[in-house]
Amino acid sequence: MEIIDITVPLRAGMVVYEGDPEVQLERVHSIEAGDVANNSRLDFGVHSGTHIDAPVHFIPGAPAAEELPLEPLLGPACVVDATAVDGNLNADALRTLDLPRTERILFKTRNSRLWELDRFSPDFVHLTGSGAEELVDRGVRLVGLDYLSIGDPDAHRALLGARVVAVEGLDLRDVEPGEYELVCLPLKVVGSDGAPARAILLRD
């Protein structure tokens, strides 16, 4: 079985969404300094790298990260080639992609090249409200995208309000479009509006 890691590594100084906390990693105990073990402190925003949005991210009073359902995060998924989309993923753009009937869709867009930059790029492909509503109407339960946000505020509210799991910050640069098994598990961070996750694809 082939295992493909589609997680963006967490590292100090990595690209984060504009205005979000920077990622910092500090060694607070060191064997070289005479301590019995190495021990580090990690300081970062919960929407850094590969992560999952909790409904409370955009909907006051909605479930937080510890209540994210796990079932949508495990199972058959389709990586969809959306690299030809120049604008955003609105309903019309999605209809040109001949989307498969599946509960889990990961969009590989022209965003994938943005991971090679050392700064945030606001010009990234993302879902709009109409695109999100199209996916909800199709019965999609999980949507993933290859940059730091799944979409605009309307898209977030449409997906999270329908309890569709939004996975952001995927690295799909080396992934061919097609069918896979997805395993994506968020940290159980109580009360949080998001949760870092490790995401992998499996294929025979």
Residue of 51, 57, 126, 156 with catalytic role:
57
d(CA 197, CA 174): 19
Q: How many angstroms separate the Cα of 26 from the Cα of each of 3, 15, 33? A: 30, 18, 14
Cβ–Cβ < 8 Å for 22, 10: no
d(CA 55, CA 163): 7
156 catalytically annotated: no
In 33-177 the beta strands, taken as DSSP E runs, fall at 39-43, 51-53, 74-81, 104-108, 142-145, 165-168
* Catalytic residue ranges: 57
